[in-house]
Amino acid sequence: MNARAENIIKDNFKKNSNIIHTINSTDVLYNKKKIEQFEKIFQLMDQDEDGSISSINLTLKNIPQQLIRIINPIITLLKEDNVRLNLIEFIKECEYLFEVIMLFILEFDSSRKKRSNQF
């Protein structure tokens, strides 16, 4: 391999490395922001500020109705299964719910594209 080809490969590797680093940095910032938002929701729900939420000490009065609909599976878990969640557990439940929603959106988009391609 000649020197010019090696330089092109090195330049491409550097560019790709920078792109990957940027993507990773963006992912880290995005996840940090997402967790901060989950923590804010938890704090709004933790009526007695004891660091945990359950059906007994749960408050929803400061949470918008649209958000209540979205996190309803977690609220149901607290009320029907009589579960108590600390902040970390709540964040894990929110992450799971978020992933389910994202999978649903991907599935929905995929099936919608398939239907539009049929016509």
Tens-place pLDDT, residues 77-102: 999 999 999 999 999 999 999 999 88
User: Which of the four pLDDT bands, split at 50, 70 and 90, describes residue 29?
Assistant: confident
Instruction: Assess contact for 85 and 96: CB atoms under 8 A.
Output: no
Q: How large a percentage of the chain has pLDDT more than 90? A: 50
Calpha distance 114→108 (Å, rounded): 10
User: Which of the four pLDDT bands, split at 50, 70 and 90, describes residue 36?
Assistant: very high
Taking the complete model, does pTM exceed 0.75, yes or no? no
Count: domains in the chain: 1
Instruction: Assess contact for 49 and 59: CB atoms under 8 A.
Output: no
Quick one: which of 46, 37, 35 has its CA closest to 85? 46
Instruction: Assess contact for 111 and 81: CB atoms under 8 A.
Output: no
Instruction: Assess contact for 97 and 73: CB atoms under 8 A.
Output: yes
Domain region containing 68: 3-118
Strands (E), the chain: 52-53, 85-86
Calpha distance 80→76 (Å, rounded): 6
Cα(first)–Cα(last) distance of the chain, in Å?
A: 51
User: Which of the four pLDDT bands, split at 50, 70 and 90, describes residue 30?
Assistant: confident
